Chains A and B, each alone.
Chain A
Amino acid sequence: MGVVRRVVRIVGWTSIVAGLLILGFVAQQLFVTTWFAQQNQEALVQEAETRFQEAEITEVEYTPPAPSSTTTPGVGTTLPPGEVVPGAGGSGNDPGAPLVPKKRTILVESTPEKGTAFAIIRIPTIDRLKDGWTVVEGVSIRDLKNGAGHMPRTPLPGQPGNAVISGHRTTYGAPFHELDTLNPGDIIEVETALGTHTYAVRETIIVRPTELWVTEPRDGAWLTLTTCHPKYSARQRLIVFAELIDGPNWEAIYA
């Protein structure tokens, strides 16, 4: 009888301790990390707003890709190779001359230092992101604990190409918790030192975490948001592709 009682006591205490450890884990992940992230947000918003005033902005020449490469800017229809897009360029009036896209000027801001806040992302259809969440430069574990993170080898938001921003889904403030509710046409705004860049959601997909192709350059100006999927798991990635529809560089890139 003494042995049985001893075993029951050990099993009971082990269960209580295990339960407390699990409860502690859930509380730490859901509440403590979010508290830290929210504390950081106040300072990061200040940092981003300071950068909006102080970032170096320059004009650089931008040559859009040849129109035969993929799509008609702003329309999204695929053209056959060699098709001439009216107003997209060309040399002189010779219809047989090779197509040379016009050079245009776009605004470029200085590259932010790693770990610093340089942008604010707003998604009006998502409550958590209505008022904005800061975007920091870099996607290291430390960077992403502070805010959403911009992948350094991709262009900054508002620039031609594919700007990639990653964010937590369930912890550290979970800025991208409701990213799966976005529908094609929903608006995403990213404020940077150049102004506000407005994107429209085009597509949402789910991929494996190793599928790097989602970060590859694209014609036009795109924003790609990435987060963990499903919620409370890092098994897959939810990807949102959005295309620039307005902003300081829109006309130069798409007109």
Chain B
Amino acid sequence: MKNWFISLPGPMAAKVVIAVIVVIIGLIALFFVYDWIGTNLLDTGGTIG
């Protein structure tokens, strides 16, 4: 994680911005993955057919 952060391009401020953006995108992607798993395996909404 530390190595990944250090390897980001640009000065320290740019590294922080890039890291924050990557983390936000990752969390949003994770949200959609969770949502897909939930609505397909856990609780589909009870529809028939």
Contacts and interface: CB of A to CB of B under 8 A. Distances in A.
Contacts of A134: none
B39 interface: yes
Interface string A219-250: 00000001110001110011000000000000
A164 interface: yes
Contact of A215 (B31, B42, B44, B49): B49
B12 to A, nearest CB: 26
Contact of A144 (B31, B45, B48): B45
B25 to A, nearest CB: 16
A168 B45 contact: yes
Interface string B3-45: 0000000000000000000000000001100110111111111
A149 B49 contact: no
A232 B42 CA distance: 5
Given A171-B42, A234-B40, A234-B43, A209 B48 contact: yes
Interface residues of B, number: 17
Nearest to A28: B34
Given A141-B39, A234-B40, A228 B45 contact: yes
B48 A237 contact: yes
A226 B47 contact: yes
A18 B34 CA distance: 14
A196 interface: no
A28 B35 contact: yes
A118 interface: no
A29 B45 contact: no
B1 to A, nearest CB: 10
A139 B47 contact: yes
Contacts of B35: 28, 33
A230 to B, nearest CB: 11
B42 to A, nearest CB: 6
Interface of B: 30-31, 34-35, 37-49
Given A25-B38, A226-B46, A237-B48, 20 more contacts: A24-B30, A24-B34, A28-B34, A28-B38, A29-B42, A139-B45, A144-B45, A166-B46, A169-B46, A171-B38, A171-B42, A171-B43, A209-B49, A214-B48, A215-B49, A228-B44, A232-B43, A233-B42, A234-B43, A238-B46
